[in-house]
């Protein structure tokens, strides 16, 4: 089954203008429809700022790209995860909304599946299906904002997929989140396992988005086992590119580190990681987010104890590297860049964990 094109959030401003003018509507309707699509935080079907007939026409002309397959809310109500299914080809992606008293963030997918094959990652284990287009990425953010009492101010590209392997669509979505939704570039975080050419492109972009680099190991030998892309872009090249982005954007880079018991969680490895990042010349220094591994069916590794993760963080801090242990509540959906589980539908009401520190 194929959906009519374009999807609801797939048009840029000029294309939307052209469409609405082709209906013989006055220009001010463009602004009204833009307002209804992006700023009202209600589904278009409920946007009462539009006359009924125009609302119906717009809704029909611009169908949603995704159906909701499942929706799961954490027991404390702070985290909601959606498994979406593409109307066009049934490809599945996940989106996570994380709320606190002060803000709401959404974690978006940039691809259905992922070709990077990181060994510990459920998305990588399932393989690559296809790139998402910019409209599909924007739709995830807009629909999450409909489910949030607070305005969604932050978006992190840490769901399914490697964002910099889908550069053009991801960057178009960044510009649209900034332009159409009014989100600050510094509140948009692109996460990568180290696609160096993409990072260097990012350094040249006008909008100073935040970069997160998934490191996961302090040396090339181990990192190549966990992140096959490391064979192509080893740690030194990734850190050089990260320094370039940090310098160009004037933003601190964060380094994500999935902690796996007996694999990368020793204090010696913490010391090696600290030495590596102390020598790094990026603007604002490095900050490490430690993420206890979530179990996945295709990888036998498991998370270290909380005490061990805390000790690892403490060793980093003693060496002058900022470190945060990512908070989890309930079980199961964490984490940076893809422990999301599109192949494993989520039962309604399943408790979930947060992916971000507050």
Residues in contact with ligand SF4 by CB under 6 A are: 114, 116-118, 121, 123-124, 160-162, 193, 337-338
At 239 the three-state DSSP class reads: helix
Rounded (10°) angle between helices 167-179 and 134-146: 40
Judged by beta carbon, residue 86 or residue 119, the one nearer ligand SF4 is 119
**Residue 285 — φ and ψ, nearest 5°?**
75, 180
Tokens 């069916």 belong to: 297
List, in sequence order, the alpha helices (H) in 62-147: 122-126, 134-146
Residues belonging to the chain: 358
Active site residue 94: yes
Catalytic residue among 21, 256, 337, 348: 337
State the nearest-atom distance from the C-beta of 165 to ligand SF4, in Å: 8
Least distance CB 116 / ligand SF4 (angstroms): 4
Choose between 10 and 194: whose C-beta lies nearer to ligand SF4: 194
Residue appearing with tokens 């310098």: 247
Please check whether residue 343 is in contact with residue 122, taking contact to mean a CB–CB distance below 8 angstroms: yes
- Give the whole-angstrom CA distance, residue 150 versus residue 161: 27
| Residue whose CB is less far from ligand SF4, 181 or 190 | 190
* Residues linked to residue 200 through DSSP beta bridges, in sequence order: none
The yes-or-no answer on residue 121 being catalytic is no
Q: Which residues contact residue 60 at a Cβ distance below 8 angstroms, ignoring those fewer than 6 apart? A: none
In terms of Cα–Cα distance, which of 104, 105, 122 is closest to 113? 122
- Distance of closest approach, residue 333 Cβ to ligand SF4, in angstroms: 13
CB of 348 to ligand SF4, least distance (A): 25
CB of 117 to ligand SF4, least distance (A): 6
In the complex with ligand SF4, the residue whose CB is nearer, 38 or 84, is 84
Instruction: Determine the 3-state secondary structure of 121 from DSSP.
Output: coil
Residue 160 or 241 with smaller CB distance to ligand SF4: 160
Catalytic residue among 94, 139, 244, 256: 94
Residue positions annotated with a catalytic role? 94, 337
């Amino acid at each position: 089954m194929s959906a009519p094109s374009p999807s609801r959030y797939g048009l840029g401003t000029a294309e939307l203008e052209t469409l609405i003018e082709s209906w013989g509507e006055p220009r001010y309707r463009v602004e009204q429809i833009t307002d209804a699509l992006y700023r009202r935080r209600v589904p278009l079907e409920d946007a009462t700022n539009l006359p009924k007939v125009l609302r119906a026409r717009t809704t029909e002309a611009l169908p949603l790209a995704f159906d909701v397959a499942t929706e799961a809310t954490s027991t404390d109500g702070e985290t909601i995860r959606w498994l979406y299914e593409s109307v066009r080809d049934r490809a599945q992606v996940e989106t996570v909304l994380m709320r606190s008293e002060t803000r709401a963030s959404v974690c978006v997918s940039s691809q259905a599946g992922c070709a990077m094959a990181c060994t510990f990652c459920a998305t990588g284990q399932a393989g690559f299906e296809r790139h998402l287009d910019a409209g599909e990425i924007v739709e995830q953010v807009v629909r999450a904002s409909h489910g949030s009492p607070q305005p969604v101010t932050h978006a992190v590209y840490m769901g399914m997929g490697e964002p910099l392997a889908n550069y053009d669509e991801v960057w178009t979505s960044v510009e649209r989140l900034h332009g159409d939704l009014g989100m600050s570039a510094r509140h948009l975080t692109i996460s990568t396992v180290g696609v160096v050419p993409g990072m260097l492109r990012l350094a040249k972009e006008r909008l100073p988005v935040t970069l997160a680099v998934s490191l996961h190991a302090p040396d090339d030998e181990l990192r190549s086992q966990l992140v096959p892309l490391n064979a192509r872009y080893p740690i030194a090249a990734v850190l050089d590119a990260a320094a370039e982005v940090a310098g160009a954007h004037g933003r601190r880079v964060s380094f994500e580190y999935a902690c796996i018991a007996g694999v990368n969680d020793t204090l010696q490895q913490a010391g090696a990681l600290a030495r590596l990042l102390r020598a790094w010349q990026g603007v604002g220094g490095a900050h490490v987010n430690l993420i206890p591994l979530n179990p996945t069916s295709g990888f036998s590794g498991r998370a270290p104890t909380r005490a061990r993760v805390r000790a690892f963080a403490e060793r980093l801090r003693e060496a002058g590297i900022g470190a945060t242990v990512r908070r989890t509540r309930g079980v199961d959906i964490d984490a940076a860049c893809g422990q999301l589980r599109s192949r494993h539908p989520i039962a309604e009401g399943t408790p979930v964990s947060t992916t971000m520190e507050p």
